[in-house]
Amino acid sequence: MKKIAFISDYFLEDGIGGAELTTNAIMVYGTKRDFEVNSVHCHKINVDVVENSKDDFHFIVCNFVQLQDEVKLYMIKNCSYSIIEYDYKICKYRSFELHQLQEGKPCDCETRISGKLNSAFYGYAEKVWFMSKKQRGMILSKVSVLKEEKTEVLSSVFDLGDLRFIQSIKDNEKNDNYIILSSPSPVKGTAECVQYAEENELNYELVSNMPYPELLIKLSMSKGLIFRPVASDTCPRLVIEAMLLGCDLHLNEHVQHKDEEWFKKQDSCHEHLLSRHDAFWNYYGQR
């Protein structure tokens, strides 16, 4: 049985976020594919831990802001590992647009010591999985040591039970409200979405911190979703959920997966998501 260890800053037990939901869905499915799947937080890892495990495990690194530089260097030289890239960790702001806003100049993090280390971390990975084609293109343009043939676009991954639940409520009767995510994140653009709704005379409702099933039910009963982030959002799950639930979508160019073929129709979106688990695990089954 092949042994896989997922390394991440956070997992689903630490709180619900898009990255954590995708990581969890991948991990759960892996156990059904006869992989031994383990997980460990970045802050609990040092070089000794990795050295003692490297001969037994392939490491899959998710969000790694808390991973020590010494561990990255050791893994580059000694380990078999992959990366699932959820945002833009080549940049200290995890967003090229936020870097521009904060410092008044384009991101140049790849030229700094931390950026060079992260570039090497990407470049020496056996595989780097991205959330969208646009995200992959933007990172490839910054990380010259990462070769496109070592990358693949995965997109967000959903728990199969959640997909079944979404299918069961997708035909709910809808009201006239558009959902807007109320988020403290500078990327999500809550204020901009509210302004857009008011300028276009759209009824809207702000939502935040709802239990996941309740959020899905709320979406299923709403006319649409307004989601217009102010910086690149690689493959936002809320937008995918709204598409699956038949909502009218008001998006902007920062929703990076919105023009991909699979996302153009409700049915193709559902079929694409059903394929993501095997797209990921088939690679590790053959390696």
Domain spans of the chain, in order of start: 3-157+274-286, 160-272
Helix (H, G, I), strand (E, B) or coil at 93: coil
The two tokens of residue 217 are 């039910």
pLDDT score recorded for residue 15: 83
- Please tell me the pTM assigned to this model: 0.95
Does domain 3-157+274-286 fall under CATH 3.40.50.2000? My reply is: yes
What is the arrangement of strands in the sheet containing 151-153, beginning at the earlier edge strand? 36-41, 3-8, 58-61, 81-85, 127-130, 151-153
pLDDT score recorded for residue 1: 82
Maximal C-alpha separation, the chain? 60
Whether the CB-CB separation of 87 and 95 falls below 8 Å is answered with: yes
CATH topology of domain 160-272: Rossmann fold (3.40.50)
Write down the residue that tokens 């689903």 correspond to. Answer: 12
Name residues of the chain where pLDDT drops below 70: none
pLDDT score recorded for residue 17: 87
Q: Which residues of 199-228 are buried (b: 16+ CB within 10 A; e: fewer)?
A: eeebebeebeeeeeeebbbebbbbbbbbbb
Q: Residue 197, class by beta-carbon neighbours within 10 Å (0-12 exposed, 13-18 middle, 19+ buried)? A: buried
Write down the residue that tokens 């276009």 correspond to. Answer: 200
**pLDDT tens by residue, 256-267:** 999 999 999 999
Nearest to 175 by CA among 224, 239, 246: 224
pLDDT score recorded for residue 282: 97
pLDDT score recorded for residue 84: 98
φ, ψ of residue 255 to 5 degrees: the values are -80, 100
DSSP class of residue 221 equals T
What are the strands, taking DSSP E only, across 105-163? 127-130, 151-153
Whether the CB-CB separation of 38 and 61 falls below 8 Å is answered with: no
Whether the CB-CB separation of 110 and 116 falls below 8 Å is answered with: yes
| Cα dihedral value 80, 86, 87, 90, nearest 10 | 0
Q: Residue 74, class by beta-carbon neighbours within 10 Å (0-12 exposed, 13-18 middle, 19+ buried)? A: middle
| Helix/strand/coil percentages in the chain, nearest 5 | 45, 15, 35
**Dist CA 142 CA 145 (whole Å):** 9
**Dist CA 196 CA 87 (whole Å):** 25
pLDDT score recorded for residue 16: 77
